[in-house]
Structure 1
């Protein structure tokens, strides 16, 4: 192994810009909204709709979407349990970097395992991690089947498919639970906006809890 790449030769470089500088510039506190749920539950639809609404209100945010990330950063990973764990670890590290830049991050991943989501929370930090369970039932997700994946999974053409041939462990105490089979997109967005509201700084306001 090249010794230049070992941890003992790495030194953390401290920035000259503080989180407070970014907070004052962007008028917001960084947070990651971690959306988890089955394929077809509505995660991506809600994530991008929320991003659009926040940006229209002048807030800097970005969606990390499961399919999009696997086109680039995580294109080398399959859907085995080990690879899923690595997928979430990498995404959490990216979300942490984006939070360090002062951004609001909207993460849209099946992220089926509680342990992996707990590890993501540890990486990002408990105060900046809000878990949102898109709790749409399996039968509703399968009935929608927007990508035809459930049909392929039932036919045995896709292995390790969450909800069919691989497990999904729902959150035990999410910050918010949303069932898109019984709620409109607009009503879901309003509920998520209320959740993120404490992280947004209005003129002449400061968030409770200090800096």
Structure 2
């Protein structure tokens, strides 16, 4: 709260107000020469108060430290609530912390999605010249789905309606038929109850629309996107 002396001090200081046109109310103050060299966001203000300038510089340079302080404060607050022991036990025993009526599936539909390397034991047994060093993700299994007409579906429906299972897993009395993939050592099983909710990353404009095409067009290969689109 400001005191009367602080309020009087503010009134005696110089204030600078920019005269702007109505169509420039969303444009920050900039310098044309600096803009050509900087090529980034710019908001130039006149410095009329040395103390305010120093305060702004310190708050800007110590911004990461402020974020770390907030994280530490939140961690300390959680520890004081006394729930840390129960959470540690749940995580150590791999018990779920939350329950939901539907499952969630992450769909790496983009062509440049990250992949996990195979385990070191498998890589040691492979030929050094073999470049097949990555584990198959959901997109790879989608493109390897059976060639039957019922599987002419998009990747989003495939991830939501079907569950990926290993062929080594012995499932007794499955409620729905199990279909083997064409080349990969996996099979798919249609979900019985509710479909899963898909999640996918958001990219820039070009990659975002490529991601949507990969998700919602029933294709058998990524090359099918390059011809018409």
If the length of structure 1 is used for normalisation, what is the TM-score? 0.24
Task: Work out which structure has the larger RCO, using CA pairs closer than 8 Å and 6 or more positions apart in sequence.
Answer: 1
Q: Which structure has the greater CA radius of gyration?
A: 2
If the length of structure 2 is used for normalisation, what is the TM-score? 0.23
